[in-house]
Structure 1
Amino acid sequence: MPKKRFAPNSNRRNDEKRSKEHNNSNVEPPVLIDDMKSCNIAKLFKESYSDKTETCKGCINFSHQPFFHAVINNFVQNVEFLQQLQEELSELTFTEKNNDLYKFYQSKEDLKVVDLPYINALRSLIYKDLKEWITDITGIELVDTVDLSCAKYQYTDTLLCHDDELDDRRIAFIYYLVPEKWTKEDGGALDLFNVNENGQPDATVKSILPVRNNFAFFEVNAVSYHQVAEVLTEDKTRLSISGWFHGPPVERPEPYVESPVTLHPSRSVDENTFYDWINPAYLDPVTQSEIQEKFEDDSEIELTDFLLPEKYEELKTAIQETNLEWKRKGPANKRKYSALDLNSAPEILKTCLDFLQSDALFLVLSNITGLKLHELASCSDSDGETSENNQNNGEEKIPCCHSEVRKWNHGNYTLIRDTDCTTADFELDSLLHICCEGWSEEYGGFTSYIAKGEDEELLSVYPTENSLSLVYRDKGTLKFVKYLNHKVTQMPTKGFYDILSVYRE
């Protein structure tokens, strides 16, 4: 039964209103610092902006590398105001925001409408005087639409590489309310990226350390790639107010499209080599039938103890050799991990890849998934449809695959845009995890699958020793590897390895 709600006493309501008005009237509103009021300094920064030159005058710093950004030191002069503002912010309700791109806490209340005296005063300064000053300096006709929110970043929280481009955002800003003694070792810096020849983020070239009462802002454009580095301190909170000024949209270049990965047909391997690797339990017809039944219901399965123990131990030893060459995989707005240069791979690793791409394993995978990955695979009632799907201009498609040996350490991840170049209607993902003893879900590094356009997770694949995880997905299913945070350094190996193989019918 719903609770009854009574109208508040009108006298009490009027008392509260008068009290709030009294509180607001007692707040000394913050004003722009003197350096921002000076006509001479304003002229200097207008020239700096138009000429794209580095300029530092008083409390204001302008920079144009890798893209235009500025920092205003000691933004609010009144120390008591700053303390009262932080108290109001601490009373807000914060909810966790967590997906492939970020993990942090954001105020549930919208700072654009929350009615508290010190937040109101700061909002008024940002919405009016600051907006007009930025418009005057940059010439960008900022409109009245301003986004404003409060965020808390705590230990292991981060916001990965992105460019902020959305609709008519023109200027992004962050006002820092961190503790006085925030150091580089605490993390949480605003990292700025340069771009490569394709306009994609290449490397961090500048880091802006959070400093209490500093106000940072930058121009949002096609190359304004940045991130909030992971917070590494366990006893401090990175508190900030951030948002965007909006204005006339600017023309954007066509997004860069990566070339799809090349897949290859299965290869022949010696029969003895194949049997040297695979757990014979997965060759049993009854076991294969049971696995197929479950896989057809769930579209995913984990095959434990997939490799024979002695081979798996050899593989673990070889993959940790120090003379292997690992290549950094980017760009940072899509992925960050290391992939093995196969030219440096020891023979045992090459043989393992031969096994995973072998004609015999294609047949085993066909038998345990019901997919048409091999001409000798038994046909089910639905194979007529599969056969039609495998036709391409009247020609039968050839089953094929691609494998990659990957190393995962602190700071590695992939984002859901990592699958933008997928062209097949359906694919079978195969993940073989290696050296993941001591791994915990709180470290990150698990692979999440979500439906395109949805936030709800469909399933997660967790690193498990000597297990082969199979996931059948369509174009509408996206995947990402969750950011490996600082806690992963607690593992004996400081991370883990895997071999991702993708199969197509």
Structure 2
Amino acid sequence: MKRKADTEANGQNGKSILKKRAKTIVSDEEIQKSFRNGLFDKDVLGKYTKEYADSEPYKHSVINSLIDDDLLRTVRNEIRENVHFTPKETDIYKIHQSGDLANLDGLDDGALEKLPSLLKLRDAMYSSAFRNYVSAITGSGELSGRKTDMAINVYIPGCHLLCHDDVIGSRRVSYILYLTDPDVPWKEEWGGALRLFPTETFEDEKGEKTVTPSPEVSKVIPPAWNQLSFFAVQPGQSFHDVEEVYHAETKEQLEKDRGRIRMAISGWYHIPQIGEEGYVEGEEEKWGTNSSLQQLQGNPDRYDFPKSTPVILESPVEPHIEEGLDPAECDFLIKYMAPGYLVPDTLEQVAEQFVEIFSVTLDGLLSDKFSARVREYIEAQEASLEAERSWDIAKPPHKHRFLYRHPSETLDESNPLHELLDVFLPSAQFRKWLALATKCTLQSYELLGRRFRRGQDYALATSHDGEPRLEISLGLTPTPGWGAEEAAESEEDDTDEDESTNGTKEKTNGKSKTNGKQEEEEPQEDDVGGHEVYMAGDDEEDNEDAAIYKTSDADEDNVLFAMPASWNTMSIVLRDSGALKFVKYVSRNAKGDRWDVSGSFGVVLDEDEGEGEEEMVTLEESSDDEVFRGFPDSEDSDSD
């Protein structure tokens, strides 16, 4: 969504800045006054050029005190008073963002006259003098002055941007200019740093090389007032993220820190456009083609982990409802499952709901005795600093990062998580129960234990382009505060609406429009993430906002199913081709890690099932009646 600054008329009878600009040609000497004294000296340029050439893990540069301090303070004040921000959240980021500052010229006179210093800064940043300066340091070649591409981003505690390489369209150089509080120096422990990822090069038996980012960062650049960080956009190499801005321990500390507001102007310099010096016909198309090829060089999927390892069943498991579970099967399952879920009438109720909306959520699936063992084990794991080392890490980070464990050939009977992965969920008895609960014929399965560490882990949106399959997620998160318990109450609370500046309504559940005065607002309870979301795919080929990575805000209608991190709750979803799925980044503000066992089952559907029905339930259609929360004849009474 493109946003404009406040367009209220102000002094319409005066001369407009826009008209003045149309008649004024600013000299390089005048432009240089917008920057700090001495920046353009030859020896200073040489110093930054050498630092850039010697930098690791890939070429980048940091310039402190870039802009004239008085000018930048005025810019910050103009932003705080006159620029509105829209909260945006997808699988890859959570930020508050202004509109594209390239649109400043399109504002009416009254609005533009409120932002003279911001306009001056933008023109200085895209002046030929400074573009040539950046080009000389990076060796990137000519940069466009016509195609300006910049926005103001505000990160408050809980905001973040996950790993990506910025390779979109004609981008040539990426930059960030920080407008943090000039009178309260930013502290490294607040987070919000620009972090750079090193890459690993693999060579296969044929000598073909593949470059992929490592899961851990190797360079951390904390924000600082009037600091510019920039690097050439390099396909398959310039991977970076923005560290979460961390919460203060107390409200008093947050006030002392002036809200920990990480404000920055960020954007890109592009390849020269038609009519500009340095324009080469076909270069932009060639750049895009080469970028795609470089991103796909070698066999990158070969170095993605965890690997998909489905177990193909010799005999498909068919849902013979009339047969049900025999006594021996029930005797096995009752060791692990709440007995209420084995009652024929209850199993039929679950099946009826699943067939109707192709998803179901089952609360208290595990028995009291077994779930107590699982909880004790997980809590011990979280308390142990050494426990993580026995897990593998999912990579590459521009797709996902979490700890995982495959089923093991050797059962550790003292480990209930192993028992879930190696005995209960892959058993013929559970597969039969699942077939009965969904009326689907099962052909294969694969299982994975996952741990999403707070402040580190996530799984970005991925699509499924094959046959429909059943996907289960058994939530094993023992800590509270993830939204599962409060979901029903928040449905009513979140309907409060606030009139926005353009006359539309937007929810105010901690996501209201904000401006540069964010530090003056009352701090609100933050969403700690960790929810698993299914979304409809984006059919649009072009995205209006290039910073949005082909996924839409999670509040929109394309959310098909969402499940917060929870304890002893299983979701079962029929996922069709094209549906996206992600696990939202887990904030360091969470009370613990997100734990689950994820499973996928290849299925065959009856031809008459699902006709005319939606593939999955949408959030608007969900209700408490669609969540099974235990049964009177069950021994389970957990209410975490």
Alignment partner of 1:346 is 2:412: yes
Give the drift of 1:469: 0.9
Cα deviation for residue 273 of structure 1 reads 3.2
Superposition deviation, residue 214 in structure 1: 1.0
| Cα distance between partner residues in 2 of 1:367 and 1:409 | 34
Partner residue in 1 for 2:187: 183
Residues 44-74 of structure 1, C-alpha deviation per residue, up to 9 Å, x if partnerless? 655x3xxxxxx3xxxxx66431111111111
Distance change in 2, residues 1:67/1:127 (3 Å): same
Asked if 1:85 is matched to 2:183, the reply is no
Percent of aligned positions that are identical:
26
Consecutive unaligned residues of structure 2, counting only runs of 5 or more, are: 1-7, 106-111, 202-209, 248-253, 272-282, 316-327, 484-526, 539-550, 553-557, 604-640
* Cα displacement (A) at 1:82: 1.9
- Is residue 169 of structure 2 the alignment partner of residue 167 of structure 1? yes
1:468 to 543, 554, 570: 570
Partner of 1:300: 359
Structure 1 residue aligned with 2:528: 443
Whichever structure has more strand as a proportion of its residues is 1
356, 375, 395: which is aligned to 1:330?
395
Say which of 141, 145, 148 aligns to 1:146: 148
Among 479, 485, 489, which residue is 2:581 paired with? 479
Which 10-residue stretch deviates more, 322-331 or 355-364?
322-331
Q: Which residue among 363, 367, 383 is the counterpart of 2:432?
A: 363
Q: Secondary structure at 1:15's aligned position in 2?
A: coil
Q: Deviations over 1:153-198 (max 9, x none)?
A: 0001100110000011010011111124101011100000001224
Question: Contact 2:36/2:67 (CA < 8 Å) preserved in 1?
Answer: yes
Question: In 2, distance between residues paired with 1:224 and 1:254?
Answer: 11
Further displaced range: 444-453 or 292-301: 292-301
1:401 to 431, 445, 468: 445
Checking the alignment, whether the CA contact within 8 Å between 2:470 and 2:575 is kept in structure 1 is yes
Alignment of 1:205-216 (within 5 A): 205-216=218-229
Residues 192 and 474 from structure 1, CA distance in 2 versus in 1: closer, same or farther, beyond 3 angstroms?
Answer: same
Q: Distance in 2 between matches of 1:291 and 1:187?
A: 45
Q: Tell me the alpha carbon deviations over residues 402-455 of structure 1, each in whole angstroms, 9 at most, x when there is no partner.
A: 1111112212443444x35x5532121111111434132321111011111162
Q: Displacement, 1:294?
A: 1.1
The reply on whether 1:280 has 2:282 as its aligned counterpart is: no
Distance 1:139 1:103 in 2: 30
Q: So what's the TM-score if we normalise by structure 2?
A: 0.65
For residues 318-377 of structure 1, the C-alpha deviation after alignment (integer angstroms, 9 at most, x for no partner) is 34345752222221111111113656973233332221111121111111112112xxxx
1:74 counterpart letter in structure 2: S
1:429 to 471, 476, 481: 471
Is 2:265 the counterpart of 1:200?
no
Structure 1: gaps spanning 5 or more residues? 1-7, 49-54, 56-60, 374-398
Structure 1 residues 97 and 431, CA, compared in 2 at 3 Å: closer, same or farther?
same
Residue 37 (structure 1) aligns with: 40
Question: Hey, what does 2:373 align to over in structure 1?
Answer: 314
Q: Deviations over 1:62-113 (max 9, x none)?
A: 6431111111111113x32222110111120101010100001001363542
2:508 maps to none
Check whether the contact 2:411–2:419 (CA below 8 A) recurs between aligned residues. Answer: no
Q: Distance in 2 between matches of 1:41 and 1:184?
A: 27
Distance 1:345 1:230 in 2: 38
Q: Give the Cα–Cα distance (whole angstroms) in 2 for the partners of residues 19 and 363 of structure 1.
A: 71
TM-score (normalizing by structure 1):
0.82
**Which amino acid in the other structure matches residue 130 of structure 1?**
F
Aligned counterpart in structure 2 of residue 155 of structure 1, from 133, 151, 157: 157
CA shift at 1:139, angstroms? Answer: 4.7
3-state DSSP class of the match of 1:13?
coil
| 2:504 alignment partner in structure 1 | none
In the alignment, does 2:415 pair up with 1:411? no
Tell me the distance in 2 between the aligned counterparts of 1:221 and 1:196: 15
The whole-number CA distance in structure 2 between the counterparts of 1:12 and 1:277 is: 73
Deviation at 1:285, TM superposition (A): 2.7
Please tell me whether residue 227 in structure 1 is matched to residue 241 in structure 2: yes
Counterpart of 1:241? 265
- Quote the Cα distance in structure 1 between the aligned partners of 2:575 and 2:36: 56
Alpha-carbon distance in 1 for matches of 2:231, 2:153 = 18
Tell me how far apart the structure 1 counterparts of residues 574 and 44 of structure 2 sit (CA, whole Å): 61
- Helix, strand or coil: the match of 1:307? coil
| Mapped pair 1:502 → 2:549 | no
CA contact (8 A) 1:335 1:412 kept: no
* Inter-partner Cα distance in structure 2 for 1:444 and 1:13: 46
Using the TM superposition, give the Cα deviation of residue 133 of structure 1 relative to its aligned residue in structure 2, in angstroms: 1.6
- Number of residue pairs aligned between Structure 1 and Structure 2: 450
Q: How far, CA to CA, are the matches of 1:481 and 1:45 in structure 2? A: 40
Q: Distance in 2 between matches of 1:18 and 1:426?
A: 58
Q: Which amino acid aligns with 2:175?
A: F
Alpha-carbon shift at residue 16 of structure 1 (Å): 5.6
**Structure 1 residues 34, 63: closer, same or farther in 2, change over 3 A?**
farther
**Equivalent position SS for 1:118:** helix
